[in-house]
Structure 1
Amino acid sequence: MKTKYLFTLLVYLTFLGVTAQSPIQQNPGAWEAVPEITDEFNNPLNTNKWKFGHPFWKGRTPCLFGQGRNAYTRDGELWMETSVQNRNGQGDYLRCGAIYSASKAMKQGMYIEAQYKASGLRIGSGFWLVNNDLDANRRADEIDIQEAFGGIASRNQHNTNVHNPQPNFTNDQPQPQSFTLPNGKTVSTDFVTYGLHWVGRSRIHFYLDGNLVRDLVTNSTLEPMHALLNTETYSWMTPFPSIQQVEGAIDNRYQKVARFKYIRTWKPKSGGGNPPGGSGWVEIGGGASNVSVDNAGKAWVVAAGGQMYARNGNSWSFIRGNVQDAGAGLGVSITETNSQISSKNNNSINNNFSRLGGTALKVDVDNQGRTWVVNAGNQIYRRDGGNWTRIPGNAVDIGCSGTSGSIYRVDSSGRIFFYNNNSWSQTSGGGATRVDVDRQGRAWVVTNNNTLYRYNSSNNTWTNMRQNVNDVGCGTDGSVWITDVNTKIYRMANAAKSVKITSDTSAFSLSAVHERYGNIDLNIKSQNGGDLKVDVYSVLGSGQKVYSKSFNTPSTNLTVRLIEGTLASGMYIAKVVLNGETKTIKFVL
């Protein structure tokens, strides 16, 4: 925070925060607090835990860092108040609040967050980490979790950055990126939660209101680090606050004070394994109410006015108007605003649709390219060849997996059913309005309170994935897309592409397949059996080994099943050694 912030407003990487998605809330039992950098600020400031100012910097003209006059607790909060030091308005005439942790307690693997409202003056209100040691290249490190600017036009930004400059900030290599706050919030009128998960030595995740917004591989990071909360002026942020603004009326006090509700830090419990990560949602840009995803991973969306678009690289291509709903898979089918049904047997970006006959409201496409529809009478039909086949049951929405063949429906009472051997089996849960099915055969539903859930069929339970959702679409490539209640479009950040085999010889081959209950089957085919060893490593964090098994097998076709729930959701690498030959493959649970 000692240099001018370089704004990078990336429209296509804006996020809507959902507090249920933070690593701590995903798996609270795997974490424990770090008391050295955790404080609810309910008591007078603990000066054994916190020191005033900065460990090796006095602040920036005209607002140097002050002491207890400028950083103190009040009403269960930490207040950073700007004050006048020199009434002639010259030189360093202001004092800003700043505290830093007495110990360098922030280390790899930890998660830290702070909730605060920035000052409304033309100053920055920051939450950051710093290390004043120098590495082999004489660089010191700084991680800016948030630089909030409450007194300028871009007061709705979450500004992240990493610096690792040489002394005196020469030859800096900053890595800035900015995100828009959700739901119309601004940094100086709303309390916002900013977080950081130090995943690995050079990998960090930034969180906004509990939702992952940035996965960054840094130039370098040194540990451990101090945690800092502060306010400061910037040379580019002129005019600086006037004495009159700083000494405004008492009812203006909140305008000139940055208010921190808390700072909290956690570390993984011993033996608790690596915490889950990467479950954020990337805003894609554009606006729509409905979304579906084809077998190539392209999203097809329908806007509120009936305009249909397909994702074409990094932009949207207009397809046609007068569309009510779309279902995509091996082909694309639509219901028109007059309820007519049309389809095409490919996912090319064009408007070459043909009428199928009949009318319907909702539509999807299964793994055989067959169109399934729900009509105005809540009846279900499937297109078989040139005819419609009536399927028992009633529905308000239908969801088909383009890979596993799984079909789910939601009925008019919000109940959820799985299609099995030409009959329907009810799952747990209820209150659903929308449904789709991912490549593992898991149902994703949106409920009547706009909450997104994912079904765990192995134990008949549901996982809360996100709030404020309108529709969901799942692709055969593993991608999951949603539209929210504000018509914004998002893709799940950790959704996987198809698995990739890294090597193959005549001795043996290795593949990874998602079976219907969300587990991973490692399929090993060889000319001969023999001594087999399977090791699985987490990609995130320190690369911890999470599974290991050795055995001798006479089989030339062997399947090793990795059970979802035994391993946390995330990305993994499997290393398979058969008779001394090694192969690896990457997969996602």
Structure 2
Amino acid sequence: MWRFGMCLGALWILSSCSYSGINHTNGLGWQDVSLPENINSTAKWELIDEVSDNFNYVGKTAEFYDKWHDNHIRGWKGPGATYFSAQHSALENGLLVLSASAVPEPQQGKPADYGGFKSKKTIYTGFVTAKRNIEYPIFVEASMKISSLALASNFWMLSDDDKYEIDVTETYGDTDYNAKQMSTNYHIFKRDPGTNDYLEDYGHKAKHYQTPDKALLNKDFHRFGFYWKSPKHMEFYLDGKLVRVLSTETDLTDPDGHFFDRPLRIIFDMEDHVWRAKKGITPSLEQLDDPSKNKMYVDWTRAYRPVSSN
């Protein structure tokens, strides 16, 4: 099920070493971080170099652009007040850094109507998209530190037809309660075949999970993982621990019967969500201008596929 052929990198067979911490690895990446035990025990796994990255670049180099689009692939500006901007992503000290800031009034454009709620584009955020799609079976994981804003810090995947979406984490950092919650979700959208406008969502079954010590996900790096075993079976992981099984035996439904049968594209971004903005939950200008709050960090992301059963 692989669109882009065999892996160009080396064959990495995961050891049984344990991961002793969740701090930034200072450029060392995932090499000493084993896969979740129940994943690692089922097969030998091969690193997919094309969609794995330590982000050890000095600025946005050609190597970075070989793997990543520095915005949405078709120019979508973002939901509600969100305004995706390539100027709001950066590579610093072995990290992908996505930031948020206020959009100057002349650049905000005309208000858009969201069911009676009108919003201009008032918040710039970073948005980075993988250039190569992934397909099952695959395990993907990212080490991230979310922002401390009322924006969603996101590690997610979307099909190129915009119909199938997996949210590995969509986590808000504006309160301690929210910052403890890894939110997972999926969407299967019905869209207008002519305009691609959203008509219905067959999914949208969010669930939330915490680390055993209820750590704040905006205070340190944590691992968010996703095992796409088949179109009808997926698993979510937090710091290597299984927290959710999404399958036709649990919450997964698709009236069209396709389920997650098509390639997806990995995305990192931050978003201001309309349903929260309607409640007045959105960053203030002071918060958007605070560098201790307005940044989301990705230490690394990795992807593996099984090459043989154990």
TM bucket by the smaller chain? 0.7 to 0.9
Match of 1:157 in 2: 181
TM-score (norm 1): 0.39
- The question of 1:261 aligning with 2:287 is answered no
CA–CA distance in 2 between the matches of 1:72 and 1:25? 32
User: Which residue of structure 2 aligns with residue 34 of structure 1?
Assistant: 48
Match of 1:143, SS state, is strand
Structure 2 residue 249 is the aligned partner of structure 1 residue 210: no
Aligned partners of 2:34, 2:289: CA distance in 1, in Å?
40
Q: Following TM superposition, by how much is the alpha carbon of 1:21 offset from its aligned partner in structure 2, in angstroms?
A: 6.6
Gapped regions of structure 1 (runs ≥ 5): 1-16, 135-139, 274-567, 569-589
Distance 1:72 1:195 in 2: 23
Q: Secondary structure at the match of 1:227?
A: strand
- 1:91 deviates by 2.2
- What is the aligned partner in structure 2 of residue 232 from structure 1? 271
Contact kept in structure 2, 1:71 and 1:97, CA below 8 Å: yes
1:149 partner letter: Y
CA contact (8 A) 1:53 1:65 kept: yes
Do 2:164 and 2:188's aligned partners in 1 also have CA atoms closer than 8 Å?
yes
Flag the structure with larger Rg. 1
Q: 1:74 and 1:24, CA in 2 relative to 1: closer, same or farther beyond 3 A? A: farther
Contact 2:230 2:260 in 1 (8 A): no
In the alignment, the residues of structure 2 paired with residue 202 and residue 212 of structure 1 have an alpha-carbon distance, to the nearest angstrom, of 17
- Cα drift, residue 203 of structure 1: 0.7
Partner of 2:104, secondary structure, is coil
User: Does 2:280 correspond to 1:244?
Assistant: no
**Aligned match of 1:147 in 134, 149, 170?**
170
Per mean C-alpha deviation after superposition, the further-off stretch among 87-96 and 197-206 is 87-96
SS in 2 for 1:236: helix
> Could you say what secondary structure the match of 1:119 adopts?
coil
After superposition, where does 1:540-559 map in structure 2 within 5 Å? none
Change (3 A) 1:28 1:173: closer
> For residues 28 and 262 of structure 1, do their structure 2 counterparts lie closer, same or farther at Cα, with a shift above 3 Å needed?
farther
| 1:71 matched residue in structure 2 | 89
1:303 aligned partner: none
Cα deviation, 1:14-71, whole Å, max 9, x if unaligned, reads xxx998671587349711111221010111341121012223432123121101x211
Do 2:83 and 2:123's aligned partners in 1 also have CA atoms closer than 8 Å?
A: yes
Match among 53, 59, 84 for residue 71 of structure 2: 53
Mapped partners of 2:217, 2:260: distance in 1? 27
**What letter matches 1:204 in structure 2?**
M
**Structure 1 letter corresponding to 2:103:** Q
Cross-structure match for 1:117: 145
Match of 1:368 in 2: none
Q: Map 1:345-424 to 2 at 5 A.
A: none
CA contact (8 A) 1:141 1:222 kept: no
Q: Secondary structure at the match of 1:59?
A: coil
1:100 aligned to 129, 132, 147, which one? 129
2:260 is aligned with 1:221: yes
Matching residue's letter, 2:52: T
**C-alpha distance in 2, partners of 1:169/1:132?**
15
Q: Is the 8 A contact 1:52 1:98 kept in 2?
A: yes
1:166 shift after superposition: 1.1
TM-score w.r.t. structure 2 length? 0.73
How many angstroms does 1:83 deviate by? 2.0
Q: Is the 8 A contact 1:113 1:263 kept in 2?
A: yes
* 8 Å Cα contact 1:86/1:94 also seen in 2: no
* Counterpart residue identity of residue 95, structure 2: E
Counterpart of 1:341 in structure 2 is none
Q: Percent identity?
A: 24
**Which structure: greater helix fraction?**
2
Which one scores higher on RCO, CA 8 angstroms, separation ≥ 6?
A: 2
Write the letter of the residue equivalent to 1:22: P
Q: In structure 1, how many angstroms separate the alpha carbons of the residues matched to 2:300 and 2:138?
A: 17
Paired residues for 1:126-205 under 5 Å: 126-133=154-161, 140-152=163-175, 153-167=177-191, 168-174=197-203, 175-205=205-235
Displacement of 1:233 in angstroms is: 0.5
Q: 3-state DSSP class of the match of 1:182?
A: coil
Q: Show the 5 A alignment for 1:356-505.
A: none
Residue 50 of structure 2 aligns to a residue in which SS?
Answer: helix
Q: Aligned partners of 1:123, 1:93: CA distance in 2, in Å?
A: 13
Q: Output one character per residue of 1:296-337: Cα deviation in whole Å (capped at 9) or x when no partner.
A: xxxxxxxxxxxxxxxxxxxxxxxxxxxxxxxxxxxxxxxxxx
Conserved 8 A contact 1:61-1:233: yes
- Asked whether the 8 Å contact 1:131–1:222 carries over to 2, the reply is no
Q: Determine which structure has the larger strand proportion and give its number.
A: 1
In the alignment, what sits opposite 1:386?
none
2:223–2:240 CA contact under 8 A, matched in 1: yes
Question: Displacement, 1:235?
Answer: 1.4
Give ranges in structure 2 of 5+ residues lacking alignment.
1-20, 23-32, 109-118, 192-196, 254-258
The one-letter amino acid paired with 1:126 is N
C-alpha displacement of 1:84 = 2.4
Structure 1 position 255, deviation (Å): 1.5
Aligned AA (2:167): D
Contact 1:21–1:211 under 8 Å retained in 2: no
Aligned length in residues:
245
Could you give the per-residue CA deviations for residues 202-249 of structure 1, whole angstroms, max 9, x where no partner exists?
21011111011111113311321100011110113233222222123x
Measure, in 2, the Cα distance between the counterparts of 1:35 and 1:47.
Answer: 14
Tell me: CA distance 1:241–1:224, structure 2 relative to 1, closer, same or farther (3 Å): same
Closer, same or farther: CA 25–200 of 1 in aligned 2, 3 Å:
closer
SS of match in other structure, 2:83: strand
